[in-house]
Chain A
Amino acid sequence: MSDLLAGAGSAGGHSLDFSGAQQTTVILLCALTALISHLALAVFNDGVRPFMLDFIQGRSTRSATTAVSFGLSAGFIFGLGAPMALSTGVLNPWLLFLPTDVLGLLSPKRWLAPLLGGAWGAVVVFGLGGANKVAHDLPVDFLTAMQQMSTPILFLFTLFPVLAISRQFGRLRGGIAGVVELALVVLTMKLWPDVFAGAPAMAVGVVMLIGFATAKDVRQRRAERAEAAEREQEEKAQQEADEARAEAGAVAGVGAGAGAGGADAKTAAAAADADAKATATPATATAKAGTAASAAPDSRTVSEAELEDPMRSLFSASATRLRRHLPLFMLLGAGVCLLAQMHVFGGGEATSFLIAKGDHAGAAQVDFYRVFGFIPLIATTALASGAYAIAGFTFVYPIGYLLPNPWLAVLAGAAVFAVEVLALSWIGRMLGRLPSVRDSSEHLRSAISESLWLAILFGSLLAANTMGGGLGILIVGGLYLLNEATGRVVVRMAAAPAAVLVGGVLLNLLYWLDLFTPVKS
């Protein structure tokens, strides 16, 4: 893994040469994912899943759902999936599974879905290799230049737990996590030069975040229990006051009955007084209970019972629907895991670069941490909509990268998906009880995109410098800024790599026009 630290320049030249087995796997898997999308059992785009509920329940048409799916996916296919695949020579889920989402939903007939999906798979494996080869043979080889992105991506990605901790738990803990991570990176470089320096730091950062979140949830539950106990006590006090009042009333009645007895008049007055007091006490008690009751909904958490009722019925219906199709999901898991095992596929933004360099252990690690940011998102959208994710919780990616042979990958992928689908409603229940952990996952995803945004932008400028020097930086940086200024036509994350591709083509045109001499020939 030490070559990873040496910079990426040497790692270029990876080209897309798929073996027959790999081509078949991609085509069959795309056919399967399109069929599953057609059946509305799973889609890859997390954004489309919520719309599947209306479709499944017949409140929305196939064409309307297809339009939503295309609208939400197109930018990611052309802006993220295609440039990433072209620059790394490694397939990715945006390029494979977002189009099959659309094609599957688009198909009016069931048999058409796998045909269209398979056709897309064929276009990718045959077309991409060609495009990749052509691009590498150009005078300005911008694909090799794009390998420059890997170093900033890997090192900045290391910091994502620190960002998440800072956003969720404030500056102090964020600062501590930052210092700990930095110390670990330095230590790792000194002591284990063969290990990717960010690996232990990232692991410790993620553990710290989960620790903080769990501790917060436990504290909160304890506080809630204490509050409930207090309320119980208040109710008890009220009950006692009620009893006292009833007793006093009885005494007062007796006193009044005694009537003229002068000696008793005092007792009666005292009893009346007691009565008044007793009435006053429950009144305050009620008022107090009233404030407690009205304060409770305003406090940050909603009580568990409240949270569970309507959500539980929605969630359990979805979980049952998915469980009914368990064998199909196991087949899907087997396919995705097999694809990951073939080392022609990277599951995350950072992973494609690592797979391209053959660092499968590093890729597995990066995708494994990424999973924590996505479990709650995928679980809740799946349970709310009744449609699962094409790659599940994405655990099959890291498992696939690490497994030594395809048969094991098929078995493991099927097993992992079976466990995931069966555990879905349990996970949903757990997530309902752990608001801070859910919170953490959102901050994690936010931190992942924040760190990757800077890394990809910086890496793209490095690539621009490699392929075209100052002119390259001007074109790529300029296109990025232009995209920002015009309301981000291209997703921000994908804008810079897309700009490198456009810049690369432009520089080649300038070369043919004799207006530009490549930096390195």
Chain B
Amino acid sequence: MTRILTGGIGKAQVAEELGGLGIDGLEVAVSSDMEAAMRLRAGQADYYLGTCHTGAGASLGVLLGVLGSGVCHTFGRSVPSEAEVTELLESGRKVFGFGVDQITDTTPVIARAIAAHTR
């Protein structure tokens, strides 16, 4: 079971979106940045998807500080391709930030890449 936490201003929408995809093996929980930082650190969760207006600030702030920039990545307001996400996952990224107005486009791409990566 891959545990994904969502945070930031669109956290409820991202969780809804993830739930609606019907991908097996993903466990989704709505969280907050501080809680998510600690749970990822403690190995109680695997990935974090954060959202805010820029896709980088509110969504990633605390996680960057606690976990370091090596595991964090922001797509900003652009929509990534699945290959791009897969590459990032392979390089060890666990924390992803993106724009709140790109939730419906970006969430499925990341979710599918995570599902394929952890399978």
Contacts and interface: CB of A to CB of B under 8 A. Distances in A.
Given A75-B77, A384-B64, A50 B57 contact: yes
Contact of A297 (B9, B12, B44): B44
Contacts, number: 132
Interface residues of A, number: 48
Nearest to A442: B9
B61 A438 contact: no
Interface in B43-68: 44, 52-58, 60-62, 64-66
Nearest to A445: B9
A46 B12 CA distance: 21
B65 A46 contact: no
A297 B32 contact: no
Contacts of A380: 33-34, 61-62
Contact of B9 (A49, A68, A314, A446): A446
Nearest to A447: B9
B76 A384 contact: no
B116 interface: no
Given A311-B66, A442-B8, A491-B77, A48 B105 contact: no
A72 B34 contact: no
A314 to B, nearest CB: 5
B69 A488 contact: no
Contacts of B37: 311
Nearest to B58: A377
A385 B8 CA distance: 17
Given A298-B44, A435-B35, A492 B61 contact: no
Nearest to A436: B32
B66 to A, nearest CB: 6
Contacts of B102: 488
Contact of A71 (B58, B76, B99): B76
Nearest to B10: A446
B26 to A, nearest CB: 16
B117 interface: no
Contacts of A167: 12
Interface string A51-85: 10110000110000000100110011000000000
A517 interface: no
Contacts of B93: none
A381 B65 CA distance: 9
B112 interface: no
Contacts of B64: 50-51, 53-54, 384-385
Interface in B89-108: 99-102, 105
A242 interface: no
Contacts of B88: none
Interface string A293-310: 000011011100011001
Nearest to A80: B53
Interface string A423-443: 000000001100100110011
Contacts of B11: 442
A348 B77 CA distance: 21
Contacts of A491: 53, 77, 99, 101
Nearest to A301: B35
A46 B105 contact: no
B38 interface: yes
Interface in A299-328: 300-302, 306-307, 310-311, 314
Cβ-closest 7 pairs across A and B: A47-B54, A384-B65, A47-B57, A46-B57, A381-B61, A47-B56, A492-B101
Interface of A: 45-51, 53-54, 59-60, 68, 71-72, 75-76, 167, 297-298, 300-302, 306-307, 310-311, 314, 377, 380-381, 383-385, 431-432, 435, 438-439, 442-443, 445-446, 449, 487-488, 491-493
